[in-house]
Structure 1
């Protein structure tokens, strides 16, 4: 009689697991209730399945309440039970609950395994406590537990995400010396961390090391390094990565193609950018809003603002909405084409359709008014803006200098220095040189001294 009971419980667990995987926890609970009604008793696997589902779909508190039901059913939790609860607490960034679970495990005589510690480390890193996470890593080693590859990946990823890229690289080197064989995912984590820290040279060296280790970089590896090259304005290096990726048979997703095309536009290689967009279409990837934004940017850079506006109709015909970036590209394109009045009209249209977060578009119009010689209107709009950033102030200072209003530019620059607002070095130099050219040597010298002082105070 014992064998059929085990088989029935196993069938119960399979049904509950199937409903949980389908995100239908309520139905899983119904199966659990029906099973008990039919005399099929749950076991630890039954409850662990429910706990895991609750942590993912309903939250830690709901999952933890299952423990009481386990006790009532006479089923003792195991390390898998607590690992699921730890994962739920870590997902909600509840460090106090995570630590409480460790204490509770020990009180029940359940010994935490390497996955328990992995989860605690991950939680500590997410909360910005790399030193505490490192202590947990040392505990794993000191207690004789065998670290999993995931343990090292969590450490390297966590250190990178917390700005400790040098420590992550050092750990990687030490691990290799002690026989750890990194996998492709480990290299990708480290390359991503180096790229985010703007350590492009180190990231490229790591890419070469990856290849010499016998691994083949995947699309994630190439795309990560390529984007870093473009962000660092190393366009030629980025294009080399792009060509290598394509020669190895990898294809981009739509975002990857648009990233490459956008960078090519910025580097002045507009024909290559257009060819990149054509390759995207030939590869069968359907256009999306990012594609259209990139294409609009291309047309605006070419001075074809009319062609850019024609794309708006195509976007709408597909049932999509132009986003804030789309309209900002159009406003910028109009300003660069000298159609500042039209740009102002489009800015008003953005407000009318509810795009209130239009700082970049407003900056474009202020700059356009200044460059077209309408410095009075530019100042009026500048003063009316409730939200301004460094670009707003730098643009206004530049345009005031262009209009020969150096003293006004100097006053605006000084107000920025007092407020801690960063102004582009070229804008600062324009004011100082302008004052000197007008014979205002003392004012230029005083301003230069105040700039140095502000740099020290706001460092």
Structure 2
């Protein structure tokens, strides 16, 4: 047993005893060991915190340890503890508190508490940190990354006097609306705001906008901005060309998509597997599997290897049967591209939606053969699908299996089985009433016969 396993097995939740155990364990604390154990215990914050305090006691906590512990506490929404750590770091150490502060800000944003994230940014001055333009952009990027784009935008405009409005700040907000939400209306509004504020768009600005227009299949605006970008002297990058290939392929402009590949090469950019996937995926979706295979052959001819998304495109393809799916799974293994949990989510969902529940059950068995462990998403898809197809007994079996391996039940499933129990109860009550009526009816009928029989004798 290594040091990590030994420490994990011996630590209890009782502070004093655990501290004594750690001191008497014979394990020599080091910065690397403390960081490793905290990471391994990241789902058990109390134990991780105990190890961190042990590391502090022996002066084995480096900057990474502090950041990691703040991250673990933030993950578990133990923000008061995280603040105490940052205060301790500021008072007792010569280490920089800025990075742990940004870790705390990130965890607030991840917990959907943007106001607290902004407040933490504003409190940085108390720790003798002077938030500059770079720090602002880190805050804005963190907020946007976790979906708090509106709050990030509002903060940027409210603080325009302290932090001048610049292209980089607008690009962060633009990226939020374009890449986190794909909200073209908001993206266009920000584009106009840039013009009002006399902030000049750069290569990144055009890249975000073209990406967003392509995602909503607006071919005209994608090409218009592409032309405008070149006229303004900005060189389109591979993201721009990939976006154009995507929208052209989705609009069935396959010849133009291939011409765009040629333009990429002229610009010194090499198409990659993602570029070809943008052409292959819509063909598979439309059931044009021969055309998709032709593109795959061309891709291989250019020494571009398919990635897992390429195989997923074929697995999702219209008309790909069970046997072809199994063949693709084998190819994935040989090429070193999975299959992974997403692969089986695709297959389970596909066959359940096409009313092939029996095949979905075979895929479920295959998943375990490929050593992919089902998670809550797999159980959710299967149980819901089986209930929908009337295979309630098998659905209950899978639900029991899910609970037995420690996966928490989704509230949707709880409600589903509660409704099923009520339906079964109603059916049972109706059945019992029906049986009672029949027995009552039989008794009355028998009595009448006896009565009539007696009357006939007199």
TM-score by length of 2: 0.59
Alignment pair present for 1:443 and 2:394: yes
Cα deviation for residue 299 of structure 1 reads 0.2
> What is the CA–CA distance in structure 1 between the aligned matches of 2:364 and 2:147, rounded to whole Å?
30
Q: Alignment partner for residue 332 of structure 2, among 385, 392, 399?
A: 385
Cα deviation for residue 305 of structure 1 reads 1.7
Aligned twin of 2:211: 262
After superposition, residues 100-249 of structure 1 pair within 5 angstroms as 123-124=63-64, 128=68, 130=70, 135-139=88-92, 153-160=98-105, 169-175=118-124, 182-211=131-160, 213-233=161-181, 235=183, 236-249=185-198
Call closer, same or farther: CA 1:220–1:255 in 2, change over 3 Å: closer
Q: Structure 1 unaligned runs (5+)?
A: 1-93, 97-120
Cα deviation for residue 297 of structure 1 reads 0.9
Call closer, same or farther: CA 1:174–1:245 in 2, change over 3 Å: same
SS of 2:178's partner is: helix
Cα deviation for residue 331 of structure 1 reads 1.7
8 Å contact from structure 1 (residues 196, 228) kept in 2: yes
Call closer, same or farther: CA 1:134–1:421 in 2, change over 3 Å: same
Which of the pair has more CA radius of gyration?
2
Aligned twin of 2:373: 419
Cα deviation for residue 397 of structure 1 reads 1.6
> What is the CA–CA distance in structure 1 between the aligned matches of 2:67 and 2:129, rounded to whole Å?
27
Call closer, same or farther: CA 1:338–1:252 in 2, change over 3 Å: farther
8 Å contact from structure 1 (residues 432, 448) kept in 2: no
Cα deviation for residue 162 of structure 1 reads 7.2
> What is the CA–CA distance in structure 2 between the aligned matches of 1:330 and 1:353, rounded to whole Å?
15
Cα deviation for residue 359 of structure 1 reads 0.8
> What is the CA–CA distance in structure 1 between the aligned matches of 2:254 and 2:383, rounded to whole Å?
33
> What is the CA–CA distance in structure 2 between the aligned matches of 1:244 and 1:122, rounded to whole Å?
44
After superposition, residues 1-12 of structure 1 pair within 5 angstroms as none
> What is the CA–CA distance in structure 1 between the aligned matches of 2:345 and 2:238, rounded to whole Å?
30
Larger mean CA deviation between 168-177 and 359-368 belongs to 168-177
SS of 1:308's partner is: helix
Cα deviation for residue 129 of structure 1 reads 5.2
After superposition, residues 283-362 of structure 1 pair within 5 angstroms as 283-356=232-305, 358-362=307-311
Larger mean CA deviation between 214-223 and 156-165 belongs to 156-165
RMSD (Å) for aligned C-alpha atoms: 4.0
SS of 2:271's partner is: coil
Call closer, same or farther: CA 1:315–1:189 in 2, change over 3 Å: closer
Cα deviation for residue 415 of structure 1 reads 6.4
> What is the CA–CA distance in structure 2 between the aligned matches of 1:360 and 1:415, rounded to whole Å?
20
> What is the CA–CA distance in structure 2 between the aligned matches of 1:202 and 1:220, rounded to whole Å?
17
Larger mean CA deviation between 290-299 and 167-176 belongs to 167-176
> What is the CA–CA distance in structure 2 between the aligned matches of 1:304 and 1:122, rounded to whole Å?
56
8 Å contact from structure 1 (residues 198, 232) kept in 2: yes
Call closer, same or farther: CA 1:232–1:225 in 2, change over 3 Å: same
Q: Alignment partner for residue 230 of structure 2, among 262, 281, 300?
A: 281
Cα deviation for residue 364 of structure 1 reads 0.5
Residue deviations 1:49-99 (CA, integer Å, cap 9, x gap): xxxxxxxxxxxxxxxxxxxxxxxxxxxxxxxxxxxxxxxxxxxxx979xxx
8 Å contact from structure 1 (residues 264, 273) kept in 2: yes
After superposition, residues 24-43 of structure 1 pair within 5 angstroms as none
8 Å contact from structure 1 (residues 264, 270) kept in 2: yes
Call closer, same or farther: CA 1:223–1:156 in 2, change over 3 Å: farther
> What is the CA–CA distance in structure 2 between the aligned matches of 1:161 and 1:192, rounded to whole Å?
10
Cα deviation for residue 361 of structure 1 reads 0.8
SS of 1:203's partner is: helix
Call closer, same or farther: CA 1:400–1:135 in 2, change over 3 Å: same
Residue deviations 1:280-321 (CA, integer Å, cap 9, x gap): 123221233222211101101212122111222222334432
Aligned twin of 2:323: 376
Cα deviation for residue 406 of structure 1 reads 0.6
8 Å contact from structure 1 (residues 125, 158) kept in 2: no
8 Å contact from structure 1 (residues 305, 330) kept in 2: yes
Cα deviation for residue 419 of structure 1 reads 0.6
> What is the CA–CA distance in structure 2 between the aligned matches of 1:232 and 1:173, rounded to whole Å?
25
Call closer, same or farther: CA 1:408–1:305 in 2, change over 3 Å: same
Alignment pair present for 1:406 and 2:357: yes
Call closer, same or farther: CA 1:383–1:458 in 2, change over 3 Å: farther
Call closer, same or farther: CA 1:426–1:282 in 2, change over 3 Å: farther
8 Å contact from structure 1 (residues 367, 399) kept in 2: yes
Aligned twin of 1:3: none
TM-score by length of 1: 0.59
> What is the CA–CA distance in structure 2 between the aligned matches of 1:382 and 1:430, rounded to whole Å?
25
8 Å contact from structure 1 (residues 122, 154) kept in 2: no
SS of 2:316's partner is: helix
> What is the CA–CA distance in structure 2 between the aligned matches of 1:420 and 1:374, rounded to whole Å?
22
> What is the CA–CA distance in structure 2 between the aligned matches of 1:268 and 1:193, rounded to whole Å?
28
SS of 1:320's partner is: coil
> What is the CA–CA distance in structure 1 between the aligned matches of 2:313 and 2:207, rounded to whole Å?
23
Aligned twin of 1:34: none
